[in-house]
Amino acid sequence: MPHDSGHHHVDPEAGDGRVAAAVGLNVALTVAQIVGGIVSGSLAMIADAIHNLSDATALVIAFVARRIARRPADADMTFGYRRAEVVAALVNYTTLVVIGLYLGYEAIHRVFAPEPVTGWIVVIVAGIALIVDLGTAALTYAMSKDSVNIRAAFVHNVADALGSVGVIAAGTLILLFGWVWVDPAVTLLIAGYILWTSLGEMPEVIRILMLGSPEDMDSERVVEAVREVPGVAGVHHAHLWLMSQHTVSFEAHVAVEAGAWDRADEIKARVKMALSDRFGIGHSTLELECAVHACRDVPVFGAA
Q: What CATH number corresponds to the domain at position 280?
A: 3.30.70.1350
**Domain range for 275:** 219-293
Could you say which of 209, 228, 256 is where a domain stops? 209
Average pLDDT of the residues of the chain: 81
Identify which has the larger pLDDT, 229 or 80: 229
Residues 79 and 117 in one domain: yes
Alpha-carbon dihedral of residues 44, 50, 52, 58, nearest 10 degrees? -150
What is the arithmetic mean of pLDDT over 296-303?
Answer: 84
pLDDT at res. 286: 95
What is the arithmetic mean of pLDDT over 131-155?
Answer: 73
Residues 154 and 268 in one domain: no
Residues 106 and 26 in one domain: yes
Q: What CATH number corresponds to the domain at position 79?
A: 1.20.1510.10
Could you say which of 209, 243, 259 is where a domain stops? 209
pLDDT grade for 116, boundaries at 50, 70 and 90: low
Residue 143 has pLDDT above 70, yes or no: no
Determine the distance from the C-alpha atom of residue 234 to the mean position of all C-alpha atoms in its chain, rounded to a whole number. 36
Instruction: Say how many domains are in the chain.
Output: 2
CA-wise closest residue to 98 among 58, 41, 62: 58
pLDDT at res. 271: 96
pLDDT at res. 255: 94
- When mean pLDDT is compared across 12-26, 116-130, 219-233, the lowest value belongs to 12-26
